[in-house]
Amino acid sequence: MTGNVAGASQKLAGVSCVVTGAARGIGQAIAARFAREGASVACLDVSEKRLEPTVTGLLGLGLQARGYVVDVAARDSLVQALDQIASDFGQPIGVLVNNAMWTRFQPLEEVDTETLERTFGVGLHALVWGLQAVVPQMKRRGGGSVINLGSTGAKRAVGCSLVYAALKAAVVGLTRAAAVELGPHGIRVNALVPGMISTPAALANFDEPTLAERSASVPLGRFGSADEIANAALFLASGESQYVQGAELVIDGGWSIAAR
């Protein structure tokens, strides 16, 4: 978690925000950025061990944050948590970031039931359950912002990524449909579409030669950072994006449009 609290512009002052998968990587960066911008941030993650230091770090900076240990694929647990967050913060949720992810990269012939069910449970079912829970809250407050995490992996496929690519394509389709349905209620629904981002989990998949090769394939010559994704999330969460609806904001350094 980085950044100067004193220098933040408070673009989310007084807003209750929820970030799933907030214990590390992109989710942690988004939660930290939102908190520095004045939001009350509910950090959701399935791992209490990883979540505790994230929340403690935010509180140590004098920011407003609470941790909730939740398996977002479990509908009842997620709905109860989102209701509890509104009660704890004393106001309806204004921003929901659907970032939590689980997948296993396998060749087609090795894809099993567990991979399918868990990947789509965390990455798609949870989006539906989360929307069902927060939309009534957002209607009460006169609007809100939902930010779903897609991936350029759905646009430019790589080997052993069949389930992951299918999931992320579905996330974009859900985003578009929800944007049309919820727009009349003042609820904006958009998708961030990151490319290769230098989170610890992502970097663990590459040795040094492969990392250099992948970086060279990006027109900007490098992997992106989690903070750069958080910057884009702040734009979609704040009032600066009031006329942005159903968008796919690609953040990949040009990788998905480069000649192969």
The structural domains of the chain, with segments of one domain joined by +, span 16-194+227-251
Q: Would you call 31 helix, strand, or coil by DSSP? A: helix
Q: Which residues contact 163 (CB under 8 A, 6 or more apart)?
A: 103, 104, 106, 111, 115, 116, 119
Average pLDDT (225-231) is 98
Cite the beta strand spans of 54-103 per DSSP E.
64-69, 95-98
- Predicted TM-score (pTM) of this structure: 0.95
Among residues 68, 89, 164, 223, the one annotated as catalytic is: 164
Q: By the 8 A CB rule, do 151 and 105 touch?
A: no
> What is the per-residue pLDDT across 239-251, written as a single tens digit (0 to 9) for each?
999 999 999 999 9
Q: Is 64 a residue whose pLDDT tops 50?
A: yes
Q: How confident is the model at residue 154 (pLDDT cuts 50, 70, 90)?
A: very high
- CA trace torsion 165, 166, 169, 171 (10° rounding): -110
Tokens matching residue 99:
């970032």
Q: By the 8 A CB rule, do 97 and 233 touch?
A: yes
Average pLDDT (178-207) is 94
Quote the pLDDT of residue 203.
85
Average pLDDT (84-113) is 96
Percent of the chain with pLDDT over 90: 88
C-alpha span between 59 and 1 (Å, rounded): 12
The CATH fold of domain 16-194+227-251: Rossmann fold (3.40.50)
Q: How far apart are the first and last CA of the chain?
A: 35
Q: Is 260 a residue whose pLDDT tops 90?
A: no
Q: Is 236 a residue whose pLDDT tops 70?
A: yes
Reported as type and span, the H/E element at residue 158 is none
Strands 64-69 and 187-194: unpaired
Q: How confident is the model at residue 220 (pLDDT cuts 50, 70, 90)?
A: very high
Task: Check if 164 is active-site.
Answer: yes
Quote the pLDDT of residue 259.
82
Average pLDDT (112-119) is 96
Q: How confident is the model at residue 5 (pLDDT cuts 50, 70, 90)?
A: low
Quote the pLDDT of residue 7.
53
Q: Is 2 a residue whose pLDDT tops 50?
A: no
Tokens matching residue 210:
């492969």
Q: Is 160 a residue whose pLDDT tops 70?
A: yes
Structure letter (DSSP) for residue 3: -
Q: Judging by beta carbons within 10 Å of its beta carbon (0-12, 13-18, 19+), is residue 80 exposed, middle or buried?
A: middle
Q: How confident is the model at residue 190 (pLDDT cuts 50, 70, 90)?
A: very high
Kindly report which listed range (6-10, 42-46, 185-189, 200-204) carries the lowest average pLDDT score: 6-10
Quote the pLDDT of residue 158.
81
Q: Is 1 a residue whose pLDDT tops 90?
A: no
Buried b (16+ CB within 10 A) or exposed e, 127-157: bebbbebbbebbeebeebbbbbbbbbbbbee
